[in-house]
Structure 1
Amino acid sequence: MTSAARAALPHAVRSALLDAWAVLAPVECAGCGRPDRAVCRSCRAALEPALVRRSLPDGTPAVAALDYTGVLRAMVLGYKEGDRTDTARVLAGPLAMAVAAARDLPGGAAAELVPVPTSAAAYRRRGYDPVRLLLRRARLPACRVLRRTRGRIAQKALGSGERRRNAAGTMRARRPLGGRTFVLVDDVLTTGATLQECVRAVRAAGGVVVGAAALASTPLRSGRADPLPESPGTFPAQTTRFVPRR
Protein backbone atom coordinates (compact mmCIF):
# COMPACT_ATOMS: atom_id res chain seq x y z
CA MET A 1 0.00 0.00 0.00
CA THR A 2 1.41 3.40 -0.96
CA SER A 3 1.87 6.18 1.58
CA ALA A 4 -0.72 8.27 -0.27
CA ALA A 5 -3.27 5.47 -0.01
CA ARG A 6 -2.59 5.03 3.70
CA ALA A 7 -3.03 8.75 4.30
CA ALA A 8 -6.42 8.68 2.60
CA LEU A 9 -7.81 6.01 4.93
CA PRO A 10 -9.74 7.02 8.05
CA HIS A 11 -7.72 6.52 11.21
CA ALA A 12 -9.84 3.64 12.53
CA VAL A 13 -9.62 1.71 9.26
CA ARG A 14 -5.89 2.35 8.96
CA SER A 15 -5.36 1.17 12.55
CA ALA A 16 -7.34 -2.02 11.91
CA LEU A 17 -5.32 -2.79 8.79
CA LEU A 18 -2.07 -2.27 10.67
CA ASP A 19 -3.26 -4.62 13.43
CA ALA A 20 -4.10 -7.25 10.83
CA TRP A 21 -0.74 -6.83 9.12
CA ALA A 22 1.01 -7.21 12.48
CA VAL A 23 -0.61 -10.65 12.82
CA LEU A 24 0.41 -11.71 9.31
CA ALA A 25 3.93 -10.29 9.41
CA PRO A 26 4.80 -9.29 12.99
CA VAL A 27 7.92 -7.32 13.83
CA GLU A 28 9.41 -6.73 17.23
CA CYS A 29 8.10 -3.63 18.96
CA ALA A 30 10.99 -1.19 19.23
CA GLY A 31 9.98 -0.32 22.78
CA CYS A 32 9.39 -3.69 24.48
CA GLY A 33 10.51 -6.30 21.95
CA ARG A 34 7.19 -8.14 21.76
CA PRO A 35 5.98 -9.31 18.32
CA ASP A 36 3.55 -6.62 17.18
CA ARG A 37 3.70 -3.44 15.11
CA ALA A 38 6.86 -1.33 14.95
CA VAL A 39 5.55 0.26 18.18
CA CYS A 40 2.83 -1.57 20.13
CA ARG A 41 -0.16 0.19 21.67
CA SER A 42 1.26 -0.06 25.19
CA CYS A 43 4.57 1.57 24.20
CA ARG A 44 2.78 4.28 22.23
CA ALA A 45 0.84 5.13 25.37
CA ALA A 46 4.15 5.51 27.25
CA LEU A 47 5.19 8.24 24.81
CA GLU A 48 2.65 10.81 26.01
CA PRO A 49 4.89 13.85 26.45
CA ALA A 50 5.33 15.80 29.68
CA LEU A 51 7.57 18.65 28.63
CA VAL A 52 10.90 18.95 30.42
CA ARG A 53 12.28 22.48 30.73
CA ARG A 54 16.04 22.90 30.65
CA SER A 55 18.63 25.59 30.03
CA LEU A 56 21.77 25.40 27.95
CA PRO A 57 25.05 26.40 29.67
CA ASP A 58 24.62 30.06 28.60
CA GLY A 59 21.00 30.19 29.79
CA THR A 60 19.33 29.67 26.41
CA PRO A 61 15.98 27.97 27.17
CA ALA A 62 15.44 24.44 25.91
CA VAL A 63 12.51 22.05 26.09
CA ALA A 64 12.36 18.28 25.63
CA ALA A 65 9.26 16.20 25.11
CA LEU A 66 10.15 13.32 27.44
CA ASP A 67 12.74 11.94 29.83
CA TYR A 68 15.29 9.67 28.19
CA THR A 69 14.29 6.53 30.06
CA GLY A 70 12.49 3.23 29.60
CA VAL A 71 10.49 2.76 26.42
CA LEU A 72 11.65 6.02 24.84
CA ARG A 73 15.33 5.23 25.44
CA ALA A 74 14.92 1.78 23.85
CA MET A 75 13.15 3.30 20.86
CA VAL A 76 15.69 6.08 20.33
CA LEU A 77 18.59 3.62 20.50
CA GLY A 78 16.86 1.36 18.02
CA TYR A 79 16.03 4.30 15.77
CA LYS A 80 19.56 5.69 15.74
CA GLU A 81 21.69 2.56 16.01
CA GLY A 82 19.43 -0.37 15.09
CA ASP A 83 18.04 0.80 11.73
CA ARG A 84 14.51 1.08 13.19
CA THR A 85 13.44 3.96 10.98
CA ASP A 86 9.95 2.44 11.05
CA THR A 87 9.51 4.20 14.41
CA ALA A 88 10.20 7.68 13.04
CA ARG A 89 6.56 8.63 12.59
CA VAL A 90 5.73 7.74 16.20
CA LEU A 91 8.76 9.60 17.60
CA ALA A 92 7.99 12.64 15.45
CA GLY A 93 4.80 13.42 17.40
CA PRO A 94 6.48 14.18 20.75
CA LEU A 95 9.29 16.10 19.03
CA ALA A 96 6.72 18.28 17.26
CA MET A 97 5.22 19.17 20.65
CA ALA A 98 8.63 20.22 21.97
CA VAL A 99 9.18 22.35 18.87
CA ALA A 100 5.79 24.01 19.37
CA ALA A 101 6.70 24.85 22.97
CA ALA A 102 10.03 26.34 21.89
CA ARG A 103 8.27 28.44 19.27
CA ASP A 104 6.03 29.82 22.01
CA LEU A 105 9.07 31.59 23.46
CA PRO A 106 9.34 35.36 22.92
CA GLY A 107 10.38 35.91 19.31
CA GLY A 108 9.95 32.26 18.41
CA ALA A 109 6.70 32.33 16.45
CA ALA A 110 8.44 32.87 13.11
CA ALA A 111 11.68 31.12 14.00
CA GLU A 112 13.24 28.76 11.49
CA LEU A 113 14.13 25.25 12.62
CA VAL A 114 17.78 24.22 12.58
CA PRO A 115 18.50 20.54 13.24
CA VAL A 116 21.87 19.75 14.81
CA PRO A 117 23.89 18.44 11.86
CA THR A 118 25.02 14.84 12.01
CA SER A 119 28.63 13.96 11.27
CA ALA A 120 29.64 12.63 7.86
CA ALA A 121 30.77 9.37 9.46
CA ALA A 122 27.44 8.89 11.25
CA TYR A 123 25.52 9.65 8.07
CA ARG A 124 27.53 7.06 6.13
CA ARG A 125 26.94 4.49 8.86
CA ARG A 126 23.18 5.06 9.15
CA GLY A 127 22.30 6.29 5.70
CA TYR A 128 20.10 9.08 7.12
CA ASP A 129 20.12 12.07 9.44
CA PRO A 130 18.02 11.14 12.51
CA VAL A 131 16.86 14.64 13.45
CA ARG A 132 16.02 15.69 9.90
CA LEU A 133 14.06 12.50 9.33
CA LEU A 134 11.96 13.13 12.47
CA LEU A 135 11.23 16.68 11.34
CA ARG A 136 10.17 15.42 7.90
CA ARG A 137 7.84 12.88 9.49
CA ALA A 138 6.39 15.70 11.60
CA ARG A 139 6.00 17.80 8.43
CA LEU A 140 8.14 20.54 9.89
CA PRO A 141 10.43 22.37 7.44
CA ALA A 142 14.07 22.63 8.45
CA CYS A 143 16.82 24.86 7.10
CA ARG A 144 20.39 23.74 6.46
CA VAL A 145 22.49 26.55 7.91
CA LEU A 146 25.08 24.72 10.03
CA ARG A 147 27.85 22.31 9.16
CA ARG A 148 30.46 20.44 11.17
CA THR A 149 33.97 21.77 10.74
CA ARG A 150 35.78 18.82 12.30
CA GLY A 151 35.18 15.56 14.09
CA ARG A 152 35.25 14.95 17.81
CA ILE A 153 35.67 12.01 20.12
CA ALA A 154 32.61 10.08 21.29
CA GLN A 155 30.80 12.01 24.04
CA LYS A 156 29.01 9.17 25.85
CA ALA A 157 31.60 8.75 28.60
CA LEU A 158 32.34 12.46 29.06
CA GLY A 159 31.11 14.79 31.80
CA SER A 160 29.54 18.18 31.16
CA GLY A 161 32.77 20.19 31.13
CA GLU A 162 34.54 17.65 28.94
CA ARG A 163 31.62 17.63 26.53
CA ARG A 164 31.72 21.41 26.16
CA ARG A 165 35.45 21.34 25.43
CA ASN A 166 34.99 18.46 23.02
CA ALA A 167 32.19 20.25 21.12
CA ALA A 168 33.86 23.69 21.05
CA GLY A 169 34.61 24.90 17.54
CA THR A 170 32.96 21.95 15.75
CA MET A 171 30.12 23.94 14.12
CA ARG A 172 30.06 26.74 11.60
CA ALA A 173 27.31 28.58 9.73
CA ARG A 174 27.22 28.02 5.98
CA ARG A 175 26.38 31.66 5.27
CA PRO A 176 25.72 34.99 7.07
CA LEU A 177 22.54 34.77 9.17
CA GLY A 178 21.86 38.41 10.02
CA GLY A 179 18.16 39.22 10.50
CA ARG A 180 17.12 35.58 10.93
CA THR A 181 15.75 33.88 14.05
CA PHE A 182 16.10 30.19 14.88
CA VAL A 183 15.03 27.34 17.12
CA LEU A 184 17.64 24.57 17.33
CA VAL A 185 16.45 20.95 17.26
CA ASP A 186 18.18 17.79 18.52
CA ASP A 187 17.12 14.26 19.42
CA VAL A 188 18.60 13.84 22.92
CA LEU A 189 19.60 16.71 25.23
CA THR A 190 22.23 15.60 27.75
CA THR A 191 24.54 18.35 29.01
CA GLY A 192 23.60 20.78 26.24
CA ALA A 193 27.19 21.00 24.96
CA THR A 194 26.33 20.25 21.33
CA LEU A 195 23.36 22.62 21.26
CA GLN A 196 25.46 25.29 22.97
CA GLU A 197 28.06 25.01 20.21
CA CYS A 198 25.27 25.40 17.64
CA VAL A 199 24.09 28.54 19.45
CA ARG A 200 27.62 29.95 19.30
CA ALA A 201 27.92 29.22 15.56
CA VAL A 202 24.55 30.81 14.73
CA ARG A 203 25.29 33.93 16.77
CA ALA A 204 28.77 34.23 15.28
CA ALA A 205 27.10 34.45 11.86
CA GLY A 206 24.70 37.16 13.05
CA GLY A 207 21.63 35.01 13.71
CA VAL A 208 19.40 34.95 16.79
CA VAL A 209 18.60 31.77 18.74
CA VAL A 210 15.42 31.98 20.81
CA GLY A 211 15.56 28.44 22.17
CA ALA A 212 16.08 24.76 21.52
CA ALA A 213 13.85 21.69 21.31
CA ALA A 214 14.64 18.00 21.73
CA LEU A 215 12.80 14.72 21.70
CA ALA A 216 14.32 13.58 25.01
CA SER A 217 16.23 14.92 27.99
CA THR A 218 18.67 12.88 30.04
CA PRO A 219 20.04 13.81 33.50
CA LEU A 220 23.26 15.81 33.50
CA ARG A 221 26.43 13.80 34.02
CA SER A 222 27.53 16.27 36.65
CA GLY A 223 25.15 14.43 38.96
CA ARG A 224 22.31 16.96 38.80
CA ALA A 225 19.30 14.85 37.87
CA ASP A 226 16.69 17.58 38.00
CA PRO A 227 16.04 20.09 35.18
CA LEU A 228 17.73 23.46 35.53
CA PRO A 229 15.64 26.22 37.14
CA GLU A 230 13.00 27.81 34.98
CA SER A 231 13.78 31.32 33.76
CA PRO A 232 11.02 33.87 34.38
CA GLY A 233 8.84 34.46 31.35
CA THR A 234 10.07 31.50 29.32
CA PHE A 235 7.61 28.64 29.83
CA PRO A 236 4.30 28.26 31.64
CA ALA A 237 4.59 26.84 35.13
CA GLN A 238 2.39 23.83 34.44
CA THR A 239 3.58 20.70 32.67
CA THR A 240 2.11 20.34 29.20
CA ARG A 241 0.59 16.99 28.26
CA PHE A 242 0.25 15.74 24.71
CA VAL A 243 -0.93 12.47 23.20
CA PRO A 244 0.92 11.74 19.94
CA ARG A 245 -1.23 11.23 16.86
CA ARG A 246 -1.58 7.53 16.16
Structure 2
Amino acid sequence: MDTWGWIGATLRDALAEALALVLPVACAGCDEPDIALCEACCALLRPSVTRSRPGVWSGLRFEGVAARVVRALKEEGRTGLARHLAPALRAAVDAAEAGASGHGGTAPAHTVVVVPIPTSRAAYRRRGYRVVELVARHAGLRPARLLAIARATADQRGLDRAGRRRNVARSLVARGATGLRVVVIDDVVTTGATLDEAIRALRAGGAEVLGAATIATTPRHGPRQ
Protein backbone atom coordinates (compact mmCIF):
# COMPACT_ATOMS: atom_id res chain seq x y z
CA MET A 1 0.00 0.00 0.00
CA ASP A 2 1.43 3.44 -0.92
CA THR A 3 1.61 6.36 1.55
CA TRP A 4 -1.60 8.04 0.34
CA GLY A 5 -3.45 4.75 0.43
CA TRP A 6 -2.18 4.20 3.97
CA ILE A 7 -3.35 7.66 5.07
CA GLY A 8 -6.75 7.20 3.44
CA ALA A 9 -7.29 3.84 5.11
CA THR A 10 -6.26 5.26 8.48
CA LEU A 11 -8.68 8.18 8.14
CA ARG A 12 -11.55 5.87 7.17
CA ASP A 13 -10.83 3.67 10.17
CA ALA A 14 -10.69 6.68 12.50
CA LEU A 15 -14.04 7.94 11.21
CA ALA A 16 -15.65 4.54 11.67
CA GLU A 17 -14.35 4.35 15.24
CA ALA A 18 -15.58 7.89 16.01
CA LEU A 19 -19.06 7.00 14.78
CA ALA A 20 -19.03 3.85 16.89
CA LEU A 21 -18.36 5.92 20.02
CA VAL A 22 -21.65 7.83 19.76
CA LEU A 23 -23.81 4.71 19.45
CA PRO A 24 -25.25 2.87 22.48
CA VAL A 25 -22.86 0.10 23.46
CA ALA A 26 -22.56 -2.95 25.65
CA CYS A 27 -19.46 -4.95 26.39
CA ALA A 28 -18.69 -7.09 23.36
CA GLY A 29 -17.54 -9.89 25.61
CA CYS A 30 -20.22 -10.05 28.33
CA ASP A 31 -22.93 -7.48 27.48
CA GLU A 32 -22.22 -5.21 30.45
CA PRO A 33 -23.99 -1.94 29.51
CA ASP A 34 -22.36 1.39 28.63
CA ILE A 35 -18.88 0.08 27.96
CA ALA A 36 -17.36 -1.22 24.74
CA LEU A 37 -15.22 -3.81 26.50
CA CYS A 38 -15.08 -4.27 30.26
CA GLU A 39 -11.88 -4.71 32.25
CA ALA A 40 -12.52 -8.40 32.89
CA CYS A 41 -13.04 -9.14 29.21
CA CYS A 42 -9.98 -7.10 28.26
CA ALA A 43 -7.94 -9.32 30.54
CA LEU A 44 -9.18 -12.39 28.66
CA LEU A 45 -7.77 -10.97 25.42
CA ARG A 46 -4.18 -10.99 26.62
CA PRO A 47 -2.19 -12.91 24.00
CA SER A 48 -1.44 -16.56 24.61
CA VAL A 49 0.37 -17.53 21.45
CA THR A 50 0.11 -21.08 20.16
CA ARG A 51 1.32 -22.79 17.02
CA SER A 52 -2.06 -23.74 15.68
CA ARG A 53 -0.44 -25.78 12.89
CA PRO A 54 3.08 -25.96 11.43
CA GLY A 55 4.20 -22.47 10.48
CA VAL A 56 0.97 -20.82 11.67
CA TRP A 57 0.87 -18.87 14.93
CA SER A 58 -2.23 -17.50 16.64
CA GLY A 59 -2.55 -15.04 19.51
CA LEU A 60 -5.86 -16.30 20.96
CA ARG A 61 -8.24 -19.24 20.87
CA PHE A 62 -11.46 -18.52 19.03
CA GLU A 63 -13.85 -19.26 21.86
CA GLY A 64 -15.64 -17.43 24.67
CA VAL A 65 -14.89 -13.73 24.95
CA ALA A 66 -12.29 -13.75 22.17
CA ALA A 67 -14.78 -15.25 19.71
CA ARG A 68 -17.48 -12.76 20.69
CA VAL A 69 -15.13 -9.80 20.27
CA VAL A 70 -13.86 -10.97 16.88
CA ARG A 71 -17.45 -11.49 15.68
CA ALA A 72 -18.48 -8.05 16.95
CA LEU A 73 -15.61 -6.49 14.99
CA LYS A 74 -16.36 -8.48 11.84
CA GLU A 75 -20.14 -8.51 11.78
CA GLU A 76 -21.39 -5.64 13.95
CA GLY A 77 -19.18 -2.81 12.72
CA ARG A 78 -17.56 -2.29 16.14
CA THR A 79 -14.23 -1.11 14.79
CA GLY A 80 -13.10 0.29 18.14
CA LEU A 81 -12.51 -3.29 19.25
CA ALA A 82 -9.63 -3.64 16.78
CA ARG A 83 -7.18 -2.10 19.22
CA HIS A 84 -8.04 -4.73 21.83
CA LEU A 85 -7.25 -7.53 19.37
CA ALA A 86 -4.08 -5.89 18.06
CA PRO A 87 -1.76 -7.30 20.77
CA ALA A 88 -2.83 -10.85 19.86
CA LEU A 89 -2.02 -10.34 16.18
CA ARG A 90 1.26 -8.60 16.97
CA ALA A 91 2.34 -11.42 19.28
CA ALA A 92 1.49 -13.98 16.61
CA VAL A 93 3.47 -12.10 13.95
CA ASP A 94 6.46 -11.85 16.30
CA ALA A 95 6.21 -15.60 16.98
CA ALA A 96 6.06 -16.38 13.25
CA GLU A 97 9.19 -14.32 12.63
CA ALA A 98 10.99 -15.86 15.60
CA GLY A 99 9.94 -19.33 14.50
CA ALA A 100 11.39 -18.73 11.05
CA SER A 101 14.65 -17.51 12.55
CA GLY A 102 14.80 -20.60 14.69
CA HIS A 103 14.50 -22.82 11.62
CA GLY A 104 17.06 -21.29 9.34
CA GLY A 105 15.44 -17.92 8.63
CA THR A 106 17.76 -14.95 8.65
CA ALA A 107 15.53 -11.93 8.06
CA PRO A 108 15.61 -9.26 10.78
CA ALA A 109 12.18 -8.00 11.84
CA HIS A 110 12.32 -4.72 9.93
CA THR A 111 12.72 -6.51 6.58
CA VAL A 112 9.65 -8.70 6.98
CA VAL A 113 6.49 -7.68 5.12
CA VAL A 114 3.08 -8.62 6.53
CA VAL A 115 0.63 -9.65 3.83
CA PRO A 116 -3.10 -9.85 4.59
CA ILE A 117 -5.49 -12.34 3.09
CA PRO A 118 -7.49 -10.17 0.66
CA THR A 119 -11.03 -9.16 1.57
CA SER A 120 -13.70 -9.99 -0.98
CA ARG A 121 -15.52 -7.09 -2.61
CA ALA A 122 -18.81 -8.27 -1.10
CA ALA A 123 -17.36 -8.32 2.43
CA TYR A 124 -15.78 -4.90 1.98
CA ARG A 125 -19.03 -3.42 0.70
CA ARG A 126 -20.89 -4.91 3.65
CA ARG A 127 -18.44 -3.74 6.32
CA GLY A 128 -16.70 -0.74 4.83
CA TYR A 129 -13.33 -1.83 6.24
CA ARG A 130 -10.86 -4.71 6.04
CA VAL A 131 -10.79 -6.52 9.37
CA VAL A 132 -7.27 -7.91 9.57
CA GLU A 133 -5.73 -4.75 8.07
CA LEU A 134 -7.50 -2.61 10.67
CA VAL A 135 -6.20 -4.77 13.51
CA ALA A 136 -2.72 -4.84 11.95
CA ARG A 137 -2.50 -1.05 11.85
CA HIS A 138 -3.48 -0.89 15.51
CA ALA A 139 -0.66 -3.37 16.12
CA GLY A 140 1.86 -1.01 14.54
CA LEU A 141 2.13 -3.08 11.36
CA ARG A 142 1.86 -1.84 7.79
CA PRO A 143 0.09 -4.52 5.76
CA ALA A 144 1.06 -4.76 2.10
CA ARG A 145 -1.64 -5.91 -0.32
CA LEU A 146 0.48 -8.26 -2.38
CA LEU A 147 -2.31 -10.81 -2.84
CA ALA A 148 -5.28 -10.39 -5.16
CA ILE A 149 -8.33 -12.54 -5.75
CA ALA A 150 -7.92 -14.38 -9.04
CA ARG A 151 -11.33 -16.02 -9.09
CA ALA A 152 -14.49 -16.05 -7.00
CA THR A 153 -14.99 -18.72 -4.34
CA ALA A 154 -18.02 -20.05 -2.49
CA ASP A 155 -18.71 -19.34 1.19
CA GLN A 156 -16.37 -21.56 3.21
CA ARG A 157 -18.89 -22.09 6.01
CA GLY A 158 -20.39 -25.56 5.92
CA LEU A 159 -17.57 -27.05 3.84
CA ASP A 160 -15.37 -29.81 5.21
CA ARG A 161 -11.57 -29.67 5.07
CA ALA A 162 -11.32 -31.18 1.59
CA GLY A 163 -14.14 -28.98 0.31
CA ARG A 164 -12.46 -25.84 1.61
CA ARG A 165 -9.22 -26.74 -0.11
CA ARG A 166 -10.96 -27.36 -3.42
CA ASN A 167 -12.93 -24.16 -3.02
CA VAL A 168 -9.88 -21.91 -2.62
CA ALA A 169 -7.42 -23.75 -4.88
CA ARG A 170 -5.76 -21.31 -7.32
CA SER A 171 -8.03 -18.49 -6.12
CA LEU A 172 -5.22 -16.05 -5.25
CA VAL A 173 -2.36 -14.47 -7.14
CA ALA A 174 0.64 -12.51 -5.82
CA ARG A 175 1.85 -9.26 -7.33
CA GLY A 176 5.06 -7.41 -6.54
CA ALA A 177 6.25 -10.11 -4.14
CA THR A 178 9.49 -11.14 -5.83
CA GLY A 179 12.40 -11.25 -3.40
CA LEU A 180 10.37 -10.23 -0.34
CA ARG A 181 10.29 -12.06 2.98
CA VAL A 182 6.72 -12.17 4.18
CA VAL A 183 4.39 -13.28 6.95
CA VAL A 184 0.77 -13.90 5.91
CA ILE A 185 -1.87 -12.50 8.30
CA ASP A 186 -5.56 -13.27 8.76
CA ASP A 187 -8.21 -12.96 11.44
CA VAL A 188 -9.10 -16.59 12.30
CA VAL A 189 -7.62 -19.89 11.11
CA THR A 190 -10.00 -22.84 10.85
CA THR A 191 -8.71 -25.56 8.52
CA GLY A 192 -5.89 -23.41 7.16
CA ALA A 193 -6.98 -23.87 3.54
CA THR A 194 -7.01 -20.15 2.76
CA LEU A 195 -3.63 -19.58 4.41
CA ASP A 196 -2.16 -22.48 2.44
CA GLU A 197 -3.47 -20.97 -0.79
CA ALA A 198 -1.99 -17.58 0.12
CA ILE A 199 1.36 -19.17 0.87
CA ARG A 200 1.28 -21.05 -2.45
CA ALA A 201 0.48 -17.86 -4.38
CA LEU A 202 3.21 -15.85 -2.67
CA ARG A 203 5.84 -18.50 -3.25
CA ALA A 204 4.75 -18.77 -6.88
CA GLY A 205 5.17 -14.99 -7.04
CA GLY A 206 8.78 -15.18 -5.84
CA ALA A 207 8.37 -14.42 -2.12
CA GLU A 208 10.01 -16.22 0.77
CA VAL A 209 7.17 -17.03 3.17
CA LEU A 210 8.37 -17.17 6.77
CA GLY A 211 5.03 -18.28 8.17
CA ALA A 212 1.54 -17.07 8.96
CA ALA A 213 -0.06 -15.28 11.90
CA THR A 214 -3.69 -14.92 12.94
CA ILE A 215 -5.58 -13.17 15.68
CA ALA A 216 -7.19 -16.45 16.76
CA THR A 217 -7.45 -20.15 16.02
CA THR A 218 -10.53 -22.32 16.32
CA PRO A 219 -10.44 -24.72 19.29
CA ARG A 220 -10.39 -27.84 17.13
CA HIS A 221 -7.05 -26.60 15.84
CA GLY A 222 -5.63 -25.97 19.28
CA PRO A 223 -1.97 -25.79 20.31
CA ARG A 224 0.47 -28.34 19.05
CA GLN A 225 3.71 -28.97 20.83
TM over 0.5: yes
Deviation string for 1:149-206 (max 9, x for gaps)? 122111121111111111111100123x222110000000111000000001001111
- Contact 2:52–2:222, Cα closer than 8 Å, also in 1: no
Question: Is 1:156 aligned to 2:157, yes or no?
Answer: yes
Displacement of 1:26: 6.2
Q: Give 1:125's aligned residue.
A: 126
Moved more, 65-74 or 153-162: 153-162
Q: Give 2:16's aligned residue.
A: none
Deviation string for 1:80-136 (max 9, x for gaps)? 011111111111121111111111122253321001111011001100000111111
Greater helix proportion: 2
Equivalent of 2:49, from 48, 51, 64?
Answer: 51
Residues 77-156 of structure 1 aligned to structure 2 (within 5 Å): 77-104=71-98, 105-106=100-101, 107=105, 108=107, 109=109, 110-156=111-157
Q: Give 1:171's aligned residue.
A: 172
Sequence identity, in percent?
45
Q: Give 2:9's aligned residue.
A: none
- Contact 2:46–2:87, Cα closer than 8 Å, also in 1: no
Q: Give 1:33's aligned residue.
A: 31
Residue 142 of structure 1 aligns to a residue whose secondary structure is coil
Residue 128 of structure 1 aligns to a residue whose secondary structure is coil
Q: Give 1:187's aligned residue.
A: 187
Residue 132 of structure 2 aligns to a residue whose secondary structure is helix
In 2, Cα distance between the equivalents of 1:142 and 1:25?
29
- Contact 2:61–2:222, Cα closer than 8 Å, also in 1: no
Displacement of 1:67: 0.6
How many residues align structurally?
A: 198
Unaligned ranges ≥5, structure 1: 1-21, 231-246
Displacement of 1:25: 8.4
Q: Give 1:12's aligned residue.
A: none
Displacement of 1:37: 2.1
- Contact 2:48–2:88, Cα closer than 8 Å, also in 1: no
CA RMSD of aligned residues (A): 1.9
User: Structure 2 vs 1, CA of residues 188 and 145 (structure 1 numbering), >3 Å: closer, same or farther?
Assistant: same
Unaligned ranges ≥5, structure 2: 1-20
Question: Is 1:73 aligned to 2:64, yes or no?
Answer: no
In 1, Cα distance between the equivalents of 2:210 and 2:69?
29
